[in-house]
Structure 1
Amino acid sequence: MPGGTELDGKVSRQVESAVKEADLVLFVVDSTVGVLDDDQAIAKWLRTSGKEVLVVSNKVDTDKREFDKWEFLSLGLGEPFPVSALHGRKAGDVLDEILIRVPRREGDDEVEVVVERQGPNRTPGIPRVSIVGRPNVGKSTLFNRLVGQDRAVVHDMPGTTRDSIDTVVETPDGPMMFVDTAGMRRRSRVDESTEYYSFVRALRAVDESDIALLVIDATEGITSQDQRLAERIDASGSPVVVVLNKWEMLNADERAEIDIEIGRKLFFVGDAPVLKMSALTGKGVQKLRPVLQDSIEQYHRRVPTRDVNRVIARAQQQQPAPSGGRVLYALQGASDPPTFTLFVNKELPPTYLRYLERSIREGFEFGSVPIKIRVRKRAE
């Protein structure tokens, strides 16, 4: 692949890796500008790759522009397919051609049905771990460290990761999917359409996750944007693990100051695990796997109704609710996150509900996993 800067070289290696693994390569060209030198260089490289290539001539918005595609025959990769990605024009023709050219594998139909039932970006039985944080805090470096290969481009230019990248990794506890997301900034600073949609996809990845790793640059401390991201993860109901990256670059005084900041600025995430590591060198990364496994198990956990009522009864006996309030019956109505429904005789004050939530958390050792409490008042 032709390259120039260090970043270009890293992107080129990603492209080469993707082409090597592909059954079919879609080579997208711009019909409005014609054949460029870079197009020629890429086509020359693709012809030596041994892979089947489909040339897609983009920005063909009208029938009159379809003749522009013939210029790309000079690339030596066959007849181009004219499309308009913006308007979806003739996208179906390209999809039909892909289905013809890509070899079908045994079990393709079954996989398609399962994915449709599970929803977008879900793989049945495999927990999803999203890696989120501000731009340039080391998310992609940690992602590559966890998956054991350079799937994400790592560069000191903020915003290098534009889309969510996921990889399934086999661990001693079974397969686990890690998702590297684009760096999240304040909305006022998301000024490019590409960056905006990257931001939206990153938020969607958090909502679809079983657990989120909030990566913080320890050398910069806990910023207001780190706080907002932690609040966003907490609101999604996903468990959070705080990762203090670049820990090896701090001296003793700076480390003590960060410990104080964690308790003061991220108090709302409760007992969320805080791991100190270096994604670059790998020091401390081994602590992550057991923490992830425990949090995921608690996130999906179901508690028998009789045990829930036993814990609630003991809590009410030790500390009765004010003004004659009482929980008559309780059950766990859902998991992911654990959600408990309390049937009460009258409205209970928020402070007492927090006491009951803490009793449930301690009684069943939910740790840092978020717990939702729903209250239903008995009909008069």
Structure 2
Amino acid sequence: MFKVAVVGRPNVGKSTLVNRIVGRQDAIVEERSGVTRDRKSYVAAWRGHSFELIDTGGWLEAGDALEVKISEQARSAMADCDIALFVVDAAVGITSEDADVAELLRRISKPVIVVANKAESESRRFNSWEFAALGFDDLIPVSALHGVMTGDLLDVLIDRLTENAPEGSIDLDDGENSETDVDDGIFSVAIVGRPNVGKSTLFNRMVGDDRAVVHDMPGTTTDTVDTVIETDIGVLRFLDTAGMRRRAKEASGTEYYSMVRALKAIDSADVAILVVDGQEGVTHQDQRLAERVDAAGSPVVVVLNKWEDLSSEDKLIRGEEAEEKLAFLTYAPFIRISAKTGLGVHRILPAVQNAIVAYRRRIPTRELNVAISEFQTVHPPKGTKILYAVQGATDPPTFTLFSSRPIDAGYMRYLERKLRERFGLGPTPIKMRVRRRSD
């Protein structure tokens, strides 16, 4: 699939253009620079041709440590793309930063279409031709916010992508909404946690590439970044999410939309890796986030990060506190790691694999009922009898128990624990339902 990088200096409307092309509000847009920090990819289509659209942060020749990392992400996207959409601001004109980006694009030697954004009026469209001085053949004035000339831009883009493409190399869209393309059967793993607990460092360590911007300032990741990689346990989609620090209804602006993306990632993921700052310990915010992850119904792997600087005594204390405060995640493994040094990170994928196996486990009806009968013999329920049991679904394992009378909560917890032990369901949540049936 062709790769199209959307590049330019900060705050020229790159993410607005991305949203216009993909046809939905996926990229976070706010009227200040630096909101987009990581590369993020989307599948878009035009005239029956699909392509990968890569949104990047604003490129700057120099800046602070975070701005340098954002620029490195943009530079990588430029180097890796088949064509670049170089977005400039028609309301401002050519700036020194625009000239710097143009020089970088010429050195990379990739095809470039200059997109003069914010050209809503006729006068701005006329004045936008000054950007021809940047030295590229294709120049299209558009208004990404209002949709003006974006169809013309896409026509030129598809023409440039296909005019020199070898026969059979072009991806044809099947007419379905590209949003459904993510439902490809690949197991997805969301990395979630509070800000600045090391999620992006862990994400980069696990995917083997500096894909997400890492910086020691809370809130660096403002959107969900996903990467599909081949691992020792098969193909996985890793989702690096923004840190969540408050209730969604209390957040505003960029933080609100970042939180919405993160919550969506939690709900859609097959496994969640909950990252906790091991030095700080489990906070009230960690507990609330863990409850939200647990409510999503997917397996959870709890990772206690920054473990390398703790003393032996502190490690014991922090580990016991974490398991006590997150006791409702009875099925979740707790793994001590250092994402920075790689200590213990190798244990995460096996835990994820165990969770995948347990999440998809289906128990034969006969084996299930033999086990339920044995459990009742050892510890009979009070005032009732379980007559029959079936597993109605997987992802997660869901059991329906047919009994003569209601079953109390304590006995249901007993059955859940015994089923986990008998059938190796430890790393996944279990759903259990009761239906009354007369003897």
TM-score (norm 1): 0.89
**One of 276, 279, 289 as aligned partner of 1:229:** 289
- Distance in 1 (CA, whole Å) between partners of 2:135 and 2:316 is 62
- Map 1:18-37 to 2 at 5 A: 18-37=77-96
Residues 213 and 221 in structure 2, CA contact (< 8 A), matched pair in contact too = yes
- Tell me: CA distance 1:183–1:327, structure 2 relative to 1, closer, same or farther (3 Å): same
Percent identity over paired residues: 51
- Distance in 2 (CA, whole Å) between partners of 1:31 and 1:86 is 13
- Map 1:237-276 to 2 at 5 A: 237-276=297-336
- Distance in 2 (CA, whole Å) between partners of 1:108 and 1:7 is 36
**One of 327, 341, 354 as aligned partner of 2:400:** 341
Q: Is 1:291 aligned to residue 354 of structure 2? A: no
- Tell me: CA distance 1:317–1:96, structure 2 relative to 1, closer, same or farther (3 Å): farther
Amino acid at match of 1:34: G
Instruction: Render the CA deviation track for 1:240-279: whole Å, top value 9, x for unaligned.
Output: 1111111011112221220221122111101311111111
- Tell me: CA distance 1:301–1:57, structure 2 relative to 1, closer, same or farther (3 Å): farther
- Distance in 2 (CA, whole Å) between partners of 1:329 and 1:179 is 40
- Superposed displacement of residue 145, structure 1: 1.1
- Tell me: CA distance 1:344–1:21, structure 2 relative to 1, closer, same or farther (3 Å): same
- Superposed displacement of residue 236, structure 1: 0.6
Residues 339 and 372 in structure 1, CA contact (< 8 A), matched pair in contact too = yes
Local SS of the residue matching 1:202? helix
Residues 115 and 122 in structure 1, CA contact (< 8 A), matched pair in contact too = no
Q: Is 1:212 aligned to residue 272 of structure 2? A: yes
Residues 303 and 335 in structure 2, CA contact (< 8 A), matched pair in contact too = yes
- Distance in 1 (CA, whole Å) between partners of 2:175 and 2:346 is 33
**One of 86, 106, 123 as aligned partner of 1:47:** 106
- Superposed displacement of residue 140, structure 1: 1.0
Local SS of the residue matching 1:337? coil
Residues 115 and 123 in structure 1, CA contact (< 8 A), matched pair in contact too = no
Q: Is 1:123 aligned to residue 171 of structure 2? A: no
**One of 413, 418, 421 as aligned partner of 1:362:** 421
Residues 354 and 427 in structure 2, CA contact (< 8 A), matched pair in contact too = no
**One of 158, 162, 170 as aligned partner of 2:230:** 170
Residues 188 and 271 in structure 2, CA contact (< 8 A), matched pair in contact too = yes
Local SS of the residue matching 1:132? strand
- Superposed displacement of residue 41, structure 1: 1.4
**One of 335, 341, 345 as aligned partner of 1:281:** 341
Residues 239 and 369 in structure 1, CA contact (< 8 A), matched pair in contact too = yes
Amino acid at match of 2:115: V
- Tell me: CA distance 1:252–1:326, structure 2 relative to 1, closer, same or farther (3 Å): same
- Distance in 1 (CA, whole Å) between partners of 2:274 and 2:375 is 33
Q: Is 1:3 aligned to residue 66 of structure 2? A: no
Partner residue in 2 for 1:15: 74
**Count of residues in correspondence between the two structures:** 376
- Superposed displacement of residue 47, structure 1: 2.1
Give 1 or 2: higher helix fraction.
Answer: 1
- Greater shift, 240-249 or 308-317, is seen at 308-317
- Superposed displacement of residue 326, structure 1: 3.1
- Map 1:162-201 to 2 at 5 A: 162-187=222-247, 191-201=251-261
- Distance in 2 (CA, whole Å) between partners of 1:329 and 1:67 is 77
- Distance in 2 (CA, whole Å) between partners of 1:179 and 1:189 is 23
- Distance in 2 (CA, whole Å) between partners of 1:359 and 1:272 is 16
- Tell me: CA distance 1:259–1:70, structure 2 relative to 1, closer, same or farther (3 Å): same
Partner residue in 2 for 1:153: 213
Question: Gaps (5+ residues) in structure 1?
Answer: none
Residues 70 and 79 in structure 1, CA contact (< 8 A), matched pair in contact too = no
- Greater shift, 196-205 or 74-83, is seen at 74-83
Partner residue in 1 for 2:35: none
Amino acid at match of 1:182: A
Local SS of the residue matching 1:119? helix
Local SS of the residue matching 1:214? strand
Amino acid at match of 2:171: D
- Map 1:282-321 to 2 at 5 A: 282-321=342-381
Partner residue in 2 for 1:326: 385
- Distance in 2 (CA, whole Å) between partners of 1:359 and 1:31 is 67
Partner residue in 2 for 1:108: 171
Question: Gaps (5+ residues) in structure 2?
Answer: 1-59
- Distance in 2 (CA, whole Å) between partners of 1:108 and 1:379 is 59
**One of 102, 114, 117 as aligned partner of 1:58:** 117
Residues 112 and 138 in structure 2, CA contact (< 8 A), matched pair in contact too = no
- Superposed displacement of residue 375, structure 1: 2.7
Partner residue in 1 for 2:196: 136
- Distance in 2 (CA, whole Å) between partners of 1:83 and 1:117 is 23
